[in-house]
Amino acid sequence: MKQGNIKIDSISKSFDGVEVLKNISFEIKGGEFFSILGGSGCGKTTLLRMIAGFIEADGGAIYLGNEEITHLSPNKRDVNTIFQTYALFPHLTIYENIAFPLRLKKIKDAEIDREVKKYLEMVKLSEHANKYSSQLSGGQKQRVAIARALINKPKVLLLDEPLSALDAKLRQHMLIELDNIHEEVGITFVFVTHDQQEALSVSDRIAVMKDGEVLQIGTPSEIYESPANAYIADFIGETNFIEGEVVEVEDEFGYMESPNYGRIKFELDKDVVVGNHVKLTIRPEKVKVSKSKPRYLDDNDNIFKGKIEEMIYSGFQSKFFVTVEDKLFSAFKQHVDFFEEDAETIHWKDEVYVIWDSADSFLLEVM
């Protein structure tokens, strides 16, 4: 196994009597781009700061490789952090900021110079070496922080919501850059974020946290396509939920009777028996909306009628919100063709058919 693997073993932590981390255990593989995703107050930052050494666990242990680091002080850990505010040193030049960890080690000037120049090159800041952080843009500051954290050649790089201070365009750009740097240095990245898009786009694996617990760990597509529960389905992207009682079970498919949508066919992702109460999730982009009833309907298709309540046109796609009974159901349509020339333009208050393939839904909960 590559080095730089982290083992979190039954970690717990309370602040002022409030449990922030509840007996958490999981492993991060060496060289992995691992994201910890969750809303504010879920404990993700606490966990990250614990790996960095700024917070001591109440119970449990943390291992880096084969070494237990639970009680080591931050300067003794082979781990470096990119802080949310970057925490660059304003009294030092960019060059000296990056040289800081090496100066502490009392390395010879010539060697420091060689290393700093190499890392300045890597983050494309060579011509800014003698500037101060106050003279840099947000993205440049971010890159200084990356170079400064990597120059020590840590086994693990911790990133604490590093993109939250950047605007949307720059965020995309930095994500790609982070991904490239990860590829280049090959060490473990632990990336804490509340932004599911960020997590989905760069991670090898994601841990979703809520209220101090890890709800699910998996690849981005696993988390998105087969969420462990309704909270994750809702948190990661947008989705529709359908609840009802199972009335019939076949080999691979089941049928349920939903108070709002009638008889719904669904794939059996979990074992169910007739009489179970179940909850399905169906992603809006997998749902089609049509003004006229399609001439050909597949045996697996679910269909029901509703009324367009709201339409949001956003260039590459339109979001339709359809009312069925008193429930809102959402469907996203990608505009591959010109919207204006779309044969069948849908208007507000139109009666429409909502259709999806029963294999595209995911069975979340059986109660």
At 240 the three-state DSSP class reads strand
CB 236 within 8 A of CB 228: no
- Candidates 63, 132, 253, 321; binder of another protein (CB under 8 A) is 132
Cβ distance to another protein smaller for residue 122 or 363: 122
Q: Is 23 in the site for another protein (CB under 8 A)?
A: no
Q: Using CB under 8 A, which of 131, 173, 291, 335 touches another protein? A: 131
For tokens 């693997």, name the residue: 5
Q: Tell whether residue 14 is a contact of another protein (CB under 8 A).
A: no
Alpha helices (H) in 160-294, listed in sequence order:
168-185, 196-202, 220-225, 230-235
Of 80, 71, 55, 62, nearest in space to 11 by CA: 62
Pairing, β 253-258 against β 262-267: antiparallel
The Cα 329–Cα 38 span in angstroms is: 25
Instruction: Count the residues in the chain.
Output: 367
15 near another protein, judged by CB under 8 A: no
For residue 152, state whether it binds another protein (rule: CB under 8 A): yes
Q: Which one-letter amino acid corresponds to residue 335?
A: H
The stretch near another protein (CB under 8 A) out of 7-15, 33-41, 126-134, 204-212 is 126-134
Q: Are 361 and 267 in contact (CB under 8 A)?
A: yes
Site string for another protein, 67-106 (x = CB under 8 A): ------xxx---xxx-xxx-xxxxxxx------xx--xx-
- Report, in Å, the least distance between residue 12 CB and another protein: 22
How many CA atoms lie within 13 Å of 108's alpha carbon, on the beta-carbon side?
Answer: 3
Among 148, 155, 194, 265, binds another protein (CB under 8 A): 148
* Number of residues engaging another protein in binding (CB under 8 A): 30
- Cβ 172 to another protein, closest distance in Å? 25
Q: Which of 15, 54, 313, 316 binds another protein (CB under 8 A)?
A: 54
Cα(125)–Cα(147) distance, rounded to whole angstroms?
A: 10
Q: Which of 193, 208, 212, 209 is nearest to 59 (CA)?
A: 212
The rounded Cα 85 to chain-centroid distance in angstroms is 20
Three-state DSSP at 288 gives strand
Per CB under 8 A, the segment of 15-23, 39-47, 127-135, 354-362 that binds another protein is: 127-135
Sketch the per residue contact string, 259 through 278, with another protein: x for CB under 8 A, - otherwise.
--------------------
140 binds another protein (CB under 8 A): no
Least Å distance between CB 45 and another protein?
A: 12
Least Å distance between CB 165 and another protein?
Answer: 12
Binding site for another protein (CB under 8 A): 52-54, 73-75, 79-81, 83-85, 87-93, 100-101, 104-105, 131-132, 134-135, 148-149, 152
